[in-house]
Amino acid sequence: MSATKTAVISNFDKQGDLPDAERQRNAVDTFISEFGSRAASYMESCVRCGLCAEACHFYLTTGDEKYTPIHKIRPFEQAYQRHAGPFAPLYRFLGLAPSVDLEELENWEELIYDSCTLCGRCTLACPMGIDIAELVKEARHGMYKAGLVPDRLAHIVRNAEVKHSPFGEPEDFSRRVREIAKRFKVKIPLDKKRADLLLTTSPSDLDDTPQSVAAAARILNHLGISWTFSSQAFEATNFGYLSGNMELQKDLTCRLIDKAKEIGAQTILLPECGHAYGAARWEAAQWYGGPTGVDVLHMIEFLAANIESGAIKLEKAKGSATFHDPCQLIRRGGLERAPRIILDALGYELHELEDHGTTAFCCGGGGGVLANARAEPLRLKAFELKKSQVEATKAEHFFTSCGQCRLQFTRGAEHFNWQKPIESLVEAVNDHMIVK
């Protein structure tokens, strides 16, 4: 693994049939459009100290320096120096700012998509405070416009564009909701004209863990909240956010907000999903174009609030537990206390992972990496790191509250024959909830 400065010939996928010159132009133009004062000050601050690598699970588990976080956005930064920076004309004139060519963008697809989960640990490690994760996310906008996205991720994105959700059409959703209601014997209101709260969900919940949908429904019913699902606006995940497809991101976000307003719902409740929170809670106003007027809550902050207020009462569970902090909820989302309130109320003896809270290690599956078949070897390496940390706690139960993390742990456990199930907080609350 010795470093070379020559171009890395790596795998890349290509979508669409745009001519090369147009791909390159689209990418660069989009890159340039991202640069405001914030991104520019990041571009102007990097001193190439390399400390970001020391935080990144992909670098740490492989030892391969090409996964150094700031290196992942090199074409993005190059575009800044050549076109958007304070000395851009001077650098161009002196030949000091090379243009970003298509080959470089193709080589970088792997770094921008396969080896970054947007987890933001590098952001915490940077002495200059550069938000590298955010820059990777912004770079993806340009990569998407150039049609340089990993194939499977692009496929899911197309699905979402056409059907609104990768899960399926509204009819598919309605059918699944009725199945879940029947199977778990829980009332699930669908397409009500008026409600106070709009519940959303994710394809993995609907397909792989329907019990968590049922759990959410049961808890909401118990709390006596006026709520509903909408077959037109049920999708909490935002593959536009993950892939860099800005139009899709905006479309998915606005869809939820518009529906909430339509039915008079003050609150949108997100399922146990990570990036859904990043998209709907923290970026909604940016894409909506102004204050949305609707509150967005994540399931765990909703549960924690209701536990603290006493609205939800729990039977004590037994045993020890450890918790994986989903990056988009805790490190990027600010919800560090919520899962701990829930686990404490449940009565578990908490054995924290060696790296937990805001400096927890990413599961390795977020940010679109799970949806990227090519990234599997990297993903599994990150999984092994988490596995060894979980085992070190000797905790009986292993919890998290994000569907993608859950899927990563499930798939990783299958691959390595690891007999440790991953559990969900909403399901645990439901299982222990005292219903009179």
* Subset of residues 117 to 156 that bind other proteins, contact rule: CB under 8 A: 123-125, 127-131, 134
Token readout for 203 is 């394809």
Q: Alpha helices of 199-245 — where are they, by DSSP H?
A: 203-207, 210-223, 239-243
- Which residues lie across from 433 on neighbouring strands? 314
Give the interface segment with other proteins, choosing from 24-32, 53-61, 197-205, 342-350 (CB under 8 A): 53-61
- Within 275-294, which residues bind other proteins (CB under 8 A)? 281-286, 288-292
Does residue 36 belong to the site contacting other proteins (CB under 8 A)? yes
Does residue 49 belong to the site contacting other proteins (CB under 8 A)? yes
Quick one: DSSP state of residue 281?
I
Question: What string of DSSP letters covers 38-89?
Answer: HHHHHHTT-----GGGGG-HHHHHH--GGG-HHHHTHHHHHHIIIIISTTHH
Describe the strand order of the beta sheet including 295-298 as a list of residue ranges: 227-228, 197-199, 267-270, 295-298
- Within 386-415, which residues bind other proteins (CB under 8 A)? 387-388
| Size (the chain), residues | 436
Token readout for 431 is 């299982």
Give the interface segment with other proteins, choosing from 205-213, 318-326, 332-340, 395-403 (CB under 8 A): 332-340
Describe the strand order of the beta sheet including 397-400 as a list of residue ranges: 349-350, 320-323, 397-400, 423-424
Give the interface segment with other proteins, choosing from 61-69, 177-185, 222-230, 407-415 (CB under 8 A): 61-69
Helix (H) or strand (E) holding 227: strand 227-228
**Cβ 346 to other proteins shortest distance, Å:** 22
Does residue 16 belong to the site contacting other proteins (CB under 8 A)? no
**Do 201 and 234 form a contact (C-beta atoms < 8 A)?**
yes
- Within 349-378, which residues bind other proteins (CB under 8 A)? 355, 357-359
- Select 166 or 339, whichever has its Cβ closest to other proteins: 339
CA–CA dist 244, 241 (Å, integer): 6
Does residue 310 belong to the site contacting other proteins (CB under 8 A)? no
Does residue 89 belong to the site contacting other proteins (CB under 8 A)? no
Does residue 320 belong to the site contacting other proteins (CB under 8 A)? no
- Each residue 154-193 as x (binds other proteins by CB under 8 A) or -, in order, gives ----------------------------------------
Give the interface segment with other proteins, choosing from 36-44, 136-144, 198-206, 207-215 (CB under 8 A): 36-44
- Within 192-251, which residues bind other proteins (CB under 8 A)? none
